[in-house]
Structure 1
Amino acid sequence: MTSLLPRAILTGALALASLPALALEPFVATYQAYNEGKLAGSAKMQVVQNGGNRWRVDLGIRGTRGFARLAGLNIEQSTLFDAVGDAYRPLSQATIKHALFSGKKISGTYDWNALSARWQGDVKKTRSAPVPLRDGDMSSLLMNLAVIRDAQPGKSLSYRVVDDGRVRDYQYAVADQTEIVAVDDLSYDAMRVARTNGGNDETIFWVANGVPTPVRILRRENGQDTIDLRLVEYQGVQ
């Protein structure tokens, strides 16, 4: 295992635009988890190669006691997928949500021969029917990796996400210039990637050259910060 501690990412938008997309590689990343601007826990994202073109991406968010009281914020997610060329194709998806007095377990299977996906477990009845698939469809977790793969200054990004028994379209705009993102005493020169079709439900990624995972992931509702993940360490796995 080779340690790659966070560091300031130098250069700007012009240099970033001239570099090739970052290849998919195994890694483990640790985040500070904030809720409404207050430090409330931690998160871990990892990508594991299962052999050949098969990979798995996991995200787990663990909160303090007060953080855990908010339903849906203590969560574990995982997507098994194939990486063929630059395409990430989901094969299965699982979500476990921990709440104070209850929890939910949901699993989904993507059948690319039948071009159909289906979820079971604690899924709403309205989302239990098969969902038609199209080439390029991804899970929510895979979109995190796709943003790393695709972000270039000034570029528009479009993703169709099939997850939890429903289909959602995500449109993002990458800023023309990079900006400094600070976490404690660390800083990154990063591209801001902001959703443009979410209405009052915003998601913003910050992507830095050479870092295989977003350096920050911020969710906002009605103009207010909600969940905010800030990268504090990552390791590439050989």
Structure 2
Amino acid sequence: MRLYPAPIALLACLALAPPAAAVELRPFVATYEAWYQGKAAGSATMRLEPRASQWNVSLDIRGERGFAGIVGLNLSQNTAFDVADAVYRPLRQTTVRKAAVFFSRTVSGVYDWSRGVARWTGDLKKDRQHPVALQPGDMSALLINLAVIRDAAPGAALRYRFVDGGRVREYQYQAAGEAETVPLGEMSYSALRVSRTNGGNDEMILWVADGVPTPVRILQREDGEDAVDLRLVEYQGAP
């Protein structure tokens, strides 16, 4: 495993992404600083690991003292998936949210592709426990992040169908026309901004750097204000 700090003043332009079928998944472990409303608030870890003929992608966000009661800063998600014809196909999904010592909510889902339905159980509303009809290309939130990394190219318009936690939504993203310098502490990346365009008051922006298997920054904004902000510190990946 190699350790990759964020390169200082990386000025090379982001290359056009290769076709999806040519992109090979590689295991990685990425460490982020977690910020909330512009203040350092904790840390996060994203992992992509092979599991026999399948893969598992996970995100764990941990708020520090003073931020431990914020649900968005105490979150654990994971999705088991396989790859079929370059399509990331979710199989199982779990989300655990915590907001206090005695507050925890767990939701688990199974994507049954043989029957063409997905279903979730656990701490969620009854109307989200009904079976959801699956369509080819449906993905969980974490898989959409991986797909954005795979598909991002200057000026590209990206569309995905989000099926997660008993909800179905169309996600539309727009990539910027060129890379920008993204400062991360004492480091910086040349990265392409990819923004969700149909989220209403809930914005999601990812910055994608050429050759980096995970977003270098993930920013969620609510009502025009920064909320949860994950900033890459380092990542370990296969050579």
Q: Shorter-normalised TM-score: what interval?
A: over 0.9
In the alignment, the residues of structure 1 paired with residue 59 and residue 107 of structure 2 have an alpha-carbon distance, to the nearest angstrom, of 15
The percent identity for this pair of structures is 55
Native 8 Å contact 1:33 1:227 kept in 2: yes
Which amino acid in structure 2 is aligned with residue 25 of structure 1? R
Tell me how far 1:51 sits from its aligned partner: 1.8
Tell me how far 1:23 sits from its aligned partner: 2.3
**Cα RMSD for the two superposed structures:** 1.4
Matches within 5 A, 1:217-236: 217-236=218-237
* TM-score calculated relative to the size of structure 1: 0.95
Matches within 5 A, 1:83-232: 83-100=83-100, 101-232=102-233
* TM-score calculated relative to the size of structure 2: 0.94
Match of 2:43 in 1: 42
Please list the CA deviations of residues 67-96 of structure 1 after superposition, one character each: whole Å capped at 9, or x if unmatched: 111134301000000012321000000011
Which amino acid in structure 2 is aligned with residue 212 of structure 1? P
Native 8 Å contact 1:79 1:90 kept in 2: yes
SS of match in other structure, 2:153:
coil
Native 8 Å contact 2:155 2:176 kept in 1: yes
In the alignment, the residues of structure 2 paired with residue 164 and residue 210 of structure 1 have an alpha-carbon distance, to the nearest angstrom, of 31
Native 8 Å contact 1:172 1:194 kept in 2: yes
Aligned CA distance change for structure 1 residues 18 and 124 (closer, same or farther; 3 Å): closer
In the alignment, the residues of structure 2 paired with residue 199 and residue 70 of structure 1 have an alpha-carbon distance, to the nearest angstrom, of 22
Please list the CA deviations of residues 37-60 of structure 1 after superposition, one character each: whole Å capped at 9, or x if unmatched: 0000000000000123x1000100
In the alignment, the residues of structure 1 paired with residue 238 and residue 154 of structure 2 have an alpha-carbon distance, to the nearest angstrom, of 28
SS of match in other structure, 2:135:
coil
Match of 1:2 in 2: 2
Verify: 1:68 aligned to 2:76, yes or no: no
In the alignment, the residues of structure 2 paired with residue 64 and residue 108 of structure 1 have an alpha-carbon distance, to the nearest angstrom, of 29
Q: Which moved more, 1:111-120 or 1:77-86?
A: 77-86
Native 8 Å contact 1:95 1:106 kept in 2: yes
Native 8 Å contact 2:178 2:192 kept in 1: yes
> Which blocks of at least 5 consecutive residues in structure 2 are unaligned?
none
SS of match in other structure, 1:61:
strand
Matches within 5 A, 1:3-42: 3-8=3-8, 9-13=10-14, 16-17=15-16, 22-42=23-43
Q: Which moved more, 1:105-114 or 1:95-104?
A: 95-104
Please list the CA deviations of residues 87-135 of structure 1 after superposition, one character each: whole Å capped at 9, or x if unmatched: 1000000011111131101100000011100000111111010000000
Aligned CA distance change for structure 1 residues 137 and 20 (closer, same or farther; 3 Å): closer
Aligned length: 235
Tell me how far 1:4 sits from its aligned partner: 2.3
Q: Which moved more, 1:34-43 or 1:2-11?
A: 2-11
